[in-house]
Amino acid sequence: MIVTKHAKQRMKQRCGLKDKSSERMAKIAYEKGLRHHDLTGNLKKWVDGLYLRNHSANQIRLYADKAYIFTGVKLITVLQIPHNLVKEADKLRKNKEQEQ
């Protein structure tokens, strides 16, 4: 797992994580985060918009209330999920955990 300098800055700013924690959190988000095929409705539309704005982002994972944007296994940046979509993401995450 590779975390870019920009991603480390964004994780510090938006998640409150230090440099050492950023790689561990990126790995957790990549493995356990919601993928595009897990999403529905407005949340899926929002993620589609993220992809259209940044075509190099071929892996977008939603974990907790953040969107982790990857190119392969390299974390590029971290964004906050819009407030009105956080509940939908939580519901989908709970459904995914119950299926496993």
Query: Can you give the pTM of this predicted structure?
Result: 0.91
What single-letter amino acid sits at 33?
A: G
Do 96 and 34 form a contact (C-beta atoms < 8 A)? yes
The whole-number pLDDT of residue 54 equals: 81
The whole-number pLDDT of residue 62 equals: 96
Percentage of residues of the chain with pLDDT beyond 90? 76
| pLDDT-derived band at 48, boundaries 50, 70, 90 | very high
The whole-number pLDDT of residue 90 equals: 93
* Helix, strand, or coil (residue 51): helix
Sheet of 66-71: strands edge to edge? 2-3, 74-80, 66-71, 59-63
Q: What's the chain's average pLDDT? A: 92
